[in-house]
């Protein structure tokens, strides 16, 4: 399983999500929403207005609280 995290700089919830993934010892990639100019536009189009946004493989999990519930 590979987790994919869209984050933004200076985001406490993004940092917590990354810490949780590290604690769980799972494989993950982190990408800033500012890495590509289209990312912010795509997020807004998909009504994803906050960071982090997290997927596992191709399944959308949601934000930090959803990630916590995912591991519960």
3-state helix, strand, coil in the chain (%, to 5): 40, 30, 30
Tell me which residue of 72, 49, 65 sits closest to 13, measured CA to CA: 65
CA distance 65 to 16: 10
Distances from the Cα of 2 to the Cα of 22, 42, 68, angstroms: 12, 21, 16
Euclidean distance between CA atoms 62 and 5, whole angstroms: 10
Q: What is the pTM of this model?
A: 0.87
pLDDT at 36 (0 to 100): 83
CA distance 54 to 31: 10
pLDDT tens digits in sequence order for the chain, 72 residues long: 999 999 999 999 999 999 999 999 999 999 998 888 888 777 777 788 889 999 999 899 999 999 999 999
């Amino acid at each position: 399983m590979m987790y994919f995290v869209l984050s933004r700089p200076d985001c406490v919830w993004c940092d917590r999500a990354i810490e949780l993934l590290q604690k769980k010892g799972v494989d993950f990639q982190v990408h800033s929403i500012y890495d590509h100019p289209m990312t912010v536009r795509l997020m807004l189009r998909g009504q994803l207005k906050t960071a982090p946004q997290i997927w596992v493989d191709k399944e959308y999990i949601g934000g930090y609280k959803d990630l916590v519930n995912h591991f519960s």
